């Protein structure tokens, strides 16, 4: 989409990732412009919204010469799960809610991950949203402007009367039930429109953002973490496990499951564990597949699990020495993402100066995530606009478009 006369969008400029970098609007309510800044991988860092009460002024796309004509400027910065507005702390996103003004607020979700109710720490309802199937809110929603994360947990962009959801990879218009740009993975699904949302069936499917690399974590007992790429019949599961399950140190076995084997594995995890799934947005499934192929190519040995291989396979690759404390499923998943170029697992911690007498700002070190429990907490703390976020879906459903 380059313009929308209905909403008064005069024009949109896109960057090399096909994400909007500049937008000009003129309608009966406002005249304005918006600027968007991203990382090289497409994670949103900043938005700048310029508004003018003089609706007679026509903003010029691609030029900053007329920006002085706007009498209102709103800047929002996204720093992981921390959001600043006008250079002041606005909101801290946490698992299942957020902190604002020193108070906790919690989401009540439906089965598709839509935020239906926001409840304060006092137990009182602060916001309530009702949605049409494709995400547009009912007129009887309660306090709709309290916070912007709504349908599928996505940020609702209401500035300039845009009324669109930010799905990280693309913007989505709930009034049309269509995305504004072509699906970046359109070549995977030739029979499906590159603009369509959830196969036109949003009651059954969800569409987190269009990328299909996912990290899955369950925390029953010692827990487990694994990676999947692809969807439906094309799904591939990568699960790093000890060859001898009762030993702390043993051979490290990478199980690669395809077809029905992959689907059966995921269904067993959905039904029998507390599995959470997280979508990785800054790499493609092709990149992750290439990383895994490089790992399996150099395996010490390989064998195929016995059983019915007519509809799926499970291949086992002995790749290294497994160690419960230092080289396990969690470290494997983290290392695989890092090797693929993802920044989703970048973890740093700042330590202050050990004594006030020493005049320095302390030091920052990188940390390695080694347990599924810590990994789950780390991923739950990530902002929905970051390079990895939690995906909500019904058991047994897929997320194809």
The answer to whether position 229 is within a domain reads: yes
State whether 61 and 89 are in the same domain: yes
The answer to whether position 173 is within a domain reads: yes
| Helix-then-strand count for the chain, H and E | 4, 25
Tokens of 382: 């990530």
The answer to whether position 387 is within a domain reads: yes
Domain range spanning residue 94? 9-200
CA distance linking residue 238 with residue 303, whole number of Å: 15
State whether 59 and 19 are in the same domain: yes
The answer to whether position 2 is within a domain reads: no
State whether 121 and 226 are in the same domain: no
State whether 172 and 230 are in the same domain: no
State whether 138 and 41 are in the same domain: yes
State whether 194 and 217 are in the same domain: no
The whole-chain average pLDDT of the chain stands at 85
What is the phi/psi pair of residue 263, to 5°? -65, -40
Given a cut of 70, whether residue 80 has pLDDT beyond it is yes
State whether 43 and 88 are in the same domain: yes
Give the pLDDT band of residue 400 (cuts 50, 70, 90): very low
CA nearest neighbour of 235 among 400, 376, 375: 400
DSSP strand E in 243-282: where?
249-258, 276-280
Of how many residues is the chain composed?
A: 401
Q: What is the pLDDT of residue 293?
A: 94
The model scores a pTM over 0.85: no
* CB contact at 8 A, 225 and 215: yes
The answer to whether position 239 is within a domain reads: yes
Q: What is the pLDDT of residue 206?
A: 62
* pLDDT, tens only, 15-61: 998 899 999 998 877 888 999 999 887 889 999 999 887 767 788 78
Given a cut of 60, whether residue 359 has pLDDT beyond it is no
DSSP 5: T
The answer to whether position 3 is within a domain reads: no
Q: What is the pLDDT of residue 398?
A: 35
CA nearest neighbour of 10 among 76, 42, 65, 55: 55
The answer to whether position 206 is within a domain reads: no
Domain boundary among 200, 232, 263: 200
Per the structure, how many domains does the chain have?
2
């Amino acid at each position: 989409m380059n313009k929308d006369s209905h909403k008064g969008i005069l024009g949109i400029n896109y960057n090399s990732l096909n994400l909007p970098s500049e937008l000009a609007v003129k309608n009966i309510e406002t005249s304005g412009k918006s600027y968007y800044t991203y990382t090289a991988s497409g994670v949103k860092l900043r938005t700048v919204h310029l508004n003018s009460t003089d609706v007679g002024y026509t903003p010029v796309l691609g030029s900053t010469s007329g920006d002085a004509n706007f009498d209102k400027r709103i800047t929002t910065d996204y720093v992981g799960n921390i959001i600043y507005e006008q250079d002041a702390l606005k909101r801290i996103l946490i698992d299942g809610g957020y902190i604002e003004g020193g108070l906790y607020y919690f989401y009540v979700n439906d089965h598709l991950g839509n935020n239906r109710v926001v409840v304060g720490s006092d137990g009182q309802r602060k916001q309530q949203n009702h949605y049409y199937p494709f995400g547009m809110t009912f007129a009887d929603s309660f306090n709709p402007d309290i916070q912007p994360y709504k349908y599928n947990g996505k940020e609702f962009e209401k500035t300039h009367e845009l009324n669109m959801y930010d799905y990280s990879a693309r913007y989505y218009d709930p009034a049309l039930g269509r995305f504004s740009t072509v699906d970046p993975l359109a070549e995977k699904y030739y029979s499906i429109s590159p603009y369509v949302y959830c196969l036109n069936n949003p009651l059954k499917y969800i569409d987190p953002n269009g990328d299909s690399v996912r990290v899955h974590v369950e925390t029953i007992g010692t827990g487990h973490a694994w990676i999947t790429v692809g969807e439906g019949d094309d799904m591939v599961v990568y699960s790093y496990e000890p060859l001898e399950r009762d030993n702390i140190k043993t051979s490290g076995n990478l199980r690669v499951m395809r077809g029905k084997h992959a689907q059966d594995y995921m269904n067993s995890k959905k039904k029998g564990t507390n599995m959470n799934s997280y979508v990785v947005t800054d790499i493609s499934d092709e990149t992750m597949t290439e990383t895994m192929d490089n790992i399996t190519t150099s395996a010490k040995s390989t064998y195929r699990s016995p059983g019915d291989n007519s509809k799926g396979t499970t291949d086992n690759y002995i790749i290294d020495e497994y160690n419960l404390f230092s080289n396990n499923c969690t470290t494997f998943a983290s290392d695989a993402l890092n090797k693929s170029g993802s920044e989703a697992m970048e973890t740093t911690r700042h330590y202050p100066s050990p004594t006030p007498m020493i005049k320095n700002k302390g030091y920052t070190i990188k940390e390695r995530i080694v347990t599924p429990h810590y990994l789950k907490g780390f991923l739950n703390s990530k902002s929905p606009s970051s390079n990895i976020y939690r995906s909500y879906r019904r058991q047994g459903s897929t997320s194809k478009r």
